[in-house]
Chains A and B, each alone.
Chain A
Amino acid sequence: MAQALVKIQAQAKRGEAVEVRALIQHPMETGFRRDDMGKPIARDIIREFVCTYAGEEVLRAELQPAIAANPFLVFHVLATESGEVAFRWTDDKGVVQSESARLTVS
């Protein structure tokens, strides 16, 4: 059950700072917990989150075990040209997921 909600305005003026929000469903298991039998629960967090805008990398984040489940990332990009804002994240299990939105610049 992996989902992500990505929010970004569809249109912007050139030079405008546009807010980008990504809410990603992920358990962010810390690796410090134990189950009912006392066995350690393997760490499973999102290791890396990358955002590209019109093919160019604009944000790269390294997430840590102290970040809560379902992380919420908010940042700004400078609107330069029309293009795709794409997100890609990788977790400890090696699962790579992506989501994208289109930004039209006038």
Chain B
Amino acid sequence: MLYRQRLAWGALALLLAATVGVAQEPIRPDPVRSGRDFQAPETRAMQDDDGANPGMLWVARGRALWDEAVGAARRSCASCHGRADETMRGVAAQYPRVDPSSGRLLNLELRIQQCRGERQDAPVPRFESDELLALTAYVAHQSRGMPVAVSVDGAARPFFDAGRAAYFQRIGQLNLACTHCHDANWGRMLRGDRLSQGHGNAYPAYRLDWQAVGSLQRRLRFCNTGVRAEPHPFGAAEYVALELYLAWRAKGLTVESPAVRR
């Protein structure tokens, strides 16, 4: 009897371990589908036509800013990087990545801020400012159609692990983690919206809701307030790490920036 009881407890413990193991094991939605697939046909058409995609207004502005000399150094982006359509091709697909000099994980916005502040000796553009969004959209646009390809090994590993932990962490008054919507329930309705798989390959994207281009972090903050959690400030390490996990999770998708979302 005692033996049997022990056996039962043992089996239960094994089962629990397996369940916890599955929850922590990185899972990816299958098949991986871009957020584009969850949009209305009109929104998809708007994204596909550069003449109708309002995000292209930010890209055009970014193109002008790229060649504009700024700061005490009177240096433009082009002074160092040359033609963006050559040097920036595929770059956005590799972000967030670890900055070798500081050891910090940087997303595209933080990398542009670093350039502005340290190399161009210019005022650092604020998060979600038109200048930063335009430059980010312009650089990201150069990678459009290229597969998302971030490195999660070596120096990036601790950030990746932190991002993954954040993805599975229940937060807010609604006590939900990212995974509960975007792995377990994608494709189903949440009030008037269809839940996407939560990939970041669209960003910076034009959201009809915002009537403007916004960053992935703006979207993440919106997710946070949606589950009634306190959002982190823009540029927080927690968000950048989460962005890295999301990019790894979006493997198989291509960069769509500037995409159009509802």
Q: A5-B51, A7-B51, A21-B51 are in contact. Are A69 and B212 (CB under 8 A)?
A: yes
The range of chain B's interface size is 10 to 19
Q: Which 10 pairs, one residue from A and one from B, show the smallest C-beta to C-beta distance?
A: A69-B211, A7-B51, A70-B54, A25-B57, A1-B130, A3-B57, A21-B51, A3-B60, A3-B61, A72-B52
B61 & A1 in contact (Cβ 8 Å cutoff): yes
B52 & A68 in contact (Cβ 8 Å cutoff): no
Q: How far is it, in angstroms, between the C-alpha of A5 and the C-alpha of B157 when the chains are bound?
A: 42
Q: How far is it, in angstroms, between the C-alpha of A21 and the C-alpha of B53 when the chains are bound?
A: 12
Contact of B149 with A by CB under 8 A:
no
Measured between beta carbons, the chain A residues less than 8 angstroms from B211 are: 27-28, 68-70
What is the CB-to-nearest-CB distance from B56 to chain A, in angstroms, rounded to a whole number? 6
Residues of A whose CB lies within 8 Å of any CB of B are 1, 3-5, 7, 21, 23, 25, 27-28, 68-70, 72
What is the CB-to-nearest-CB distance from A70 to chain B, in angstroms, rounded to a whole number? 4
Measured between beta carbons, the chain A residues less than 8 angstroms from B134 are: 1
What is the CB-to-nearest-CB distance from B188 to chain A, in angstroms, rounded to a whole number? 28
Beta-carbon nearest neighbor of B130 in chain A: A1
What is the CB-to-nearest-CB distance from A67 to chain B, in angstroms, rounded to a whole number? 11
Measured between beta carbons, the chain A residues less than 8 angstroms from B54 are: 23, 25, 70, 72
What is the CB-to-nearest-CB distance from B1 to chain A, in angstroms, rounded to a whole number? 69
A–B pairs, 24, beta carbons within 8 Å:
A1-B61, A1-B130, A1-B134, A3-B57, A3-B60, A3-B61, A4-B57, A5-B56, A5-B57, A7-B51, A21-B52, A23-B56, A23-B57, A25-B54, A25-B57, A27-B211, A28-B211, A68-B208, A68-B211, A69-B212, A70-B54, A70-B57, A70-B211, A72-B52
Measured between beta carbons, the chain B residues less than 8 angstroms from A5 are: 51, 56-57, 60
Beta-carbon nearest neighbor of B208 in chain A: A68
Q: How far is it, in angstroms, between the C-alpha of A68 and the C-alpha of B262 when the chains are bound?
A: 13
Measured between beta carbons, the chain B residues less than 8 angstroms from A27 are: 211
From 177 to 210 in chain B, residues with beta carbon under 8 angstroms from any chain A beta carbon are 208
